[in-house]
A and B are shown apart, each in its own frame.
Chain A
């Protein structure tokens, strides 16, 4: 089509253009990757619990294990939730967070499992504060606030579906047997004892309403939760994964109540009767 001399010059010249374009693609992609990794690290620093929906608390040890949206739980290191409790099997159960419903948990094969005191064979949905017994170890499920999980109070009275697939605390009953629900400011008794900081309304990973559920929209909350609320540097409340207990030591959520040397957790603070007329949320917004 064109003269041979012109074509040779053009083809020779374009060799460098191709190399430049390929180099541009490679360098630009590399920079993108680096920037993306940096941004991701930044997000993870800001949201250390990214990808997680809550945690499982083992009351006997005080340890918490982060819970992702889906996966398996058991003793094996390959499990998404690694549990070392007595009687916990290699793979004990599989779970999946179902938005709007809760954490759906299914025993692996014929593994034994109890949810809120009942033996479970098929899939069940766990809510915030539900109690799970795997082997002989008891765990409490705690969702982060703002999660699209049902607010149990809205489903009052709590109705068990006919297929028996759903279990949860009965309406009007203590959602968690024992004292630990109260101790950790969760599990349905939060806000009844306003003098305890753990009863502050929900930050991410903390606080609950009467049924262990965090308010869906924080804008509804009072402006000031009082000085006794423990905050992290981003204004989030304890207990919070970023403020996880020291490894190897029992989790003491409110150290001011348990000075060093005091027996823990046998020492149980005396509950103060609830005064419904009192403003449990702390002083009003001065504005």
Chain B
């Protein structure tokens, strides 16, 4: 048995407890919903979701070199998303496992790509072109939802191109910064952000901006450049604030949502009430009455979690996100090349900033911007892009492990030789 096989076996054994807990959480939650509603769909999900997640984790770990810890944490969040969405609307809950499957396929594709591709330049050029085209598409033929013209409809399926471009942006900027093509990377990122601003998709623009800023800091270590980027961002935000009334309205609602509690501040007020109602331990799954919050399935899903599962559980959910980020940072530190390091840190940064922006908006820490909560909110593109970002991190980890295993095998040969 090789070192790799031995280690895989040990890791899988160690992961059993974690995966069992995640599966148990899904099973108990769906069973409770079944007992409450008597719908056979929840009974099917109670068995299918934990089983599929358990098998997916093992397959990803065994055949694709994925990090089982990351997979388990992501599975926990995905289970939570399916449960809450089923609670809000059973039709959404039934659709979410399909998105999970699509996301897993995307994750596998990203792992394989990062592990196998050695000649990135061709792909980078294609991705850069494609991302600009994708971001320009909604401006030409997009659908406007909630004030942002960020969706396009292809073959009856509506999707948000900025979610796909997230993955491309991390890949392209990581590659360019690792090759020290700073100007090119900044120009490319600025073009993406400008197109998003034109779509009025400020949430995505904010994500892109902060991710690129973090990557520039990680790549250059230059505080001057980072502060200059930050100053440019502040200037852009000020111009946006003075030019666009809807941004002023968002900020005003953040400062005092009660001034228009039945109008523009309704969503924030309802969210705050839901969270307070939940208390420390929550009202219990299925007992909450706050599912009528506007956009509860997307932006405000965290308020529903706090309402039904309680503040302690919500804090644990945030800890799970933090653990994902910490794991990603560990993987980035262990990477053997600059590009892979950038890739891992860029991916987790994107997820971390997205999580911070939406949870911070919901709990009224910062002005609310419309982004989804990764792995939990409803939406196929959001789920696929989040899973792809995790796939990039997994790919880097798989490469790190390949290299380390090779080193260990070489050392073993050495030690065997020294012993004899």
A binding-site residues for B, Cβ under 8 Å: 1-2, 7-8, 10-12, 14-19, 21-26, 28-30, 32-33, 36-37, 40, 43, 46-47, 49-51, 68-72, 76-80, 90-91, 94, 96, 144-147, 203-204, 217-219, 221, 223, 231, 234-236
Contact = CB atoms under 8 A, between A and B. Distances in A.
Contacts of B282: 15
A18 B28 contact: yes
Contact of B338 (A16, A78, A218, A231): A78
Contact of B36 (A1, A24, A145, A223): A1
Contact of B407 (A30, A33, A49): A49
B122 interface: no
Rank and list the top 9 A-B pairs by shortest CB-CB distance, nearest first: A235-B418, A218-B417, A11-B284, A146-B410, A1-B38, A22-B316, A51-B336, A21-B25, A50-B407
A8 B283 CA distance: 10
A23 B177 CA distance: 38
A40 B25 CA distance: 31
A203 B336 CA distance: 23
Given A43-B404, A50-B404, A25 B284 contact: no
5 contacts: A22-B313, A25-B25, A50-B404, A69-B336, A221-B417
B337 interface: yes
B399 to A, nearest CB: 9
A33 B323 CA distance: 8
Given A15-B284, A146-B413, A72 B316 contact: no
A90 B28 contact: no
B70 to A, nearest CB: 9
A81 B220 CA distance: 15
B18 interface: yes
B247 interface: no
A204 B286 contact: no
Nearest to A98: B118
Interface stretch (B97-105, B151-159, B259-267, B326-334): B326-334
A203 B414 contact: yes
Given A14-B32, A33-B327, A90 B413 contact: no
B317 interface: yes
Contact of A28 (B17, B220, B415): B17
Contacts of B28: 14, 17-18, 21
Given A71-B337, A78-B220, A16 B323 contact: no
B310 interface: yes
Given A29-B73, A72-B178, A221-B417, 13 more contacts: A1-B35, A10-B32, A10-B35, A14-B285, A28-B17, A29-B69, A29-B323, A33-B326, A36-B69, A47-B411, A51-B403, A78-B338, A94-B179
Contact of B21 (A15, A28, A79): A28
Contacts of A33: 69, 323, 326-327, 330
B396 to A, nearest CB: 12
A26 to B, nearest CB: 5
B183 to A, nearest CB: 13
Most chain A CB within 10 A, of B330, B334, B336, is at B336
Interface in B384-420: 400, 403-404, 407-411, 413-420
B199 interface: no
B310 A15 contact: yes
Interface in B86-130: 118
A80 B316 contact: no
Contacts of A7: 35-36
A22 B418 contact: no
A25 B414 contact: no
A272 to B, nearest CB: 26
A78 B178 contact: yes
A199 to B, nearest CB: 16
A29 B328 CA distance: 13
Interface string B341-376: 000000000000000000000000000000000000
A17 B317 CA distance: 15
A219 B416 contact: yes
B24 interface: yes
B416 A218 contact: yes
A70 B117 CA distance: 13
A28 B18 contact: yes
Nearest to B311: A19
Contacts of A46: 411
Contacts of A68: 336-337
Contact of A25 (B14, B21, B37): B21
